[in-house]
Chain A
Amino acid sequence: MTTTPITEVPSQEAVLEEISSMLLRVLDQYGLDGFDDTGEIAGKITLDTTFHDELGLESIDLVTVGSMLTDRYGEQVNLAAFLADLDIDDVIGMRVGLLVDFVRTALSRPRLAGS
């Protein structure tokens, strides 16, 4: 599978914006229970927002976000591999900022030929 090589690591703001829109798409499936509209929650997603407690997302939603990240940024951004190295408490307490940092770190890593 070929992906567009990203030569420059996108800014923190740019990645946050992308991830926020992915989270909104996932939340959309649940009918945004508890939120008035997408606009209200869109403005509320920051680097400090917790995936689990504040957004009310479950672990299966992380699987979906992982697929979205790979579709957007390429195979280099492998969320499952990143999470496999964390403890369960870190995954449960995960903040959006950790995802943003993960994406930027993955994109800044030199890509191995054939990987």
Chain B
Amino acid sequence: MGMIQANGIRTHYQLMPAKNPATPEPPTVVFIHGLGYDSLASFYLTLAAPVSQAGINVITYDLRAHGRSDRPVSGYRVADFVEDLRALLDETDVEGPVYLVGNSFGGTIAFSFAERYPSRVRSIVAIEAEPATHEWSRKIGGTLTNVVDWMEDPEILAWLEDTYGAHHARLSKVASAVIRATTIVEEVPQGPLLDAEALRGIRCPVLSIVGSEGFQSDNLLAVQSSLPDCRTEVIDGQNHSVLVERHRTVRSLLLDWVDEIEAIPAEVEVGAA
């Protein structure tokens, strides 16, 4: 287990180096998990090993207030998560442009990171994820408030206990207390938000993987239509849990995508010797 100090946060991360890489400098994928009851485990237990075995360097980490990383009382704007990622890449000496693969809120971080540090991103794979737009802010604000209320609702807790056991009801109470102990619900929706012009500035190729019944079911192509270079893959009959429930599908989409992007000749760098 790796712990590293990044942007003032003691951060839990896991590296899986590329196995038998095809080139001396194999591509690097950074997996970014989602918000709330999530951790690097969602990627570590599904995609991390097969992707590293395909000859790709893998980094995954626990976001602040998640998994085994520190939980400060405040500092939960998207921009804070972007700086955490920048610091993690600096501290782990990852210099080349990387593939950011983000699940849900992890994808939101990826978009804002690419907008802030375009030269450090080769491509984004967004799983059930949207950029931090005004519309996203409105949705996530409502969802976060509802989730915390839901997690403490006596009827819900009773149902959890009956269905999954007392342990789950306890976990739910603990998780909501953790959320309430921070400013996460208030700060996340603040972004800062990306307007149409900022989105047009995200020029790297993007693969948007969405469930037909997921969080973007009202407009599956909304992300694609707001970005200059984005393709959408729809997983039929799937709700928001695309990553954990359909990890084999996501794995093959991701590996094919990396192959496709790696086959594109690198841009000639202006001013390079």
- Residues of A at the B interface (CB closer than 8 Å) are 53, 56, 58-60, 62-64, 66-67, 78, 80-81, 83-84, 88, 91, 115
Contacts and interface: CB of A to CB of B under 8 A. Distances in A.
A59 B49 contact: no
A80 B167 contact: no
B75 interface: no
A64 B53 contact: no
Contact of A59 (B45, B47, B48, B68): B45
Given A78-B49, A84-B47, A84-B50, A67 B41 contact: no
B36 to A, nearest CB: 13
A78 to B, nearest CB: 6
The 5 closest A-B pairs by CB, nearest first: A59-B41, A81-B49, A80-B49, A60-B39, A60-B41
B16 interface: yes
Nearest to B62: A60
A62 B165 CA distance: 20
B7 interface: no
Contacts of A115: 19-20
The DSSP consensus for interface residues of chain A is helix
The DSSP consensus for interface residues of chain B is helix
Contacts of B45: 59, 62-63, 80, 83-84, 91
Given A63-B45, A80-B44, A84-B247, A56 B167 contact: yes
Which has the most chain A C-beta neighbours within 10 Å: B46, B53, B62, B245? B46
Nearest to A89: B245
7 contacts: A53-B167, A59-B45, A60-B41, A60-B62, A63-B41, A64-B1, A84-B251
B244 interface: yes
A80 B44 CA distance: 6
Nearest to A114: B20
Nearest to A59: B41
Contact of A58 (B41, B48, B244): B41
B53 A81 contact: yes
Contacts of B164: 53
A55 to B, nearest CB: 9
Nearest to A57: B167
Interface string B10-50: 00001010011000000000000000000111101111111
B44 A63 contact: yes
A83 B20 CA distance: 21
A60 B68 contact: yes
A80 B165 contact: no
Given A53-B165, A59-B39, A84 B49 contact: yes
A79 B197 CA distance: 44
A102 to B, nearest CB: 13
Given A53-B165, A84-B247, A63 B49 contact: no
Contacts of A66: 44
B245 to A, nearest CB: 6
A26 to B, nearest CB: 11
Contacts of B141: none
B205 interface: no
B192 interface: no
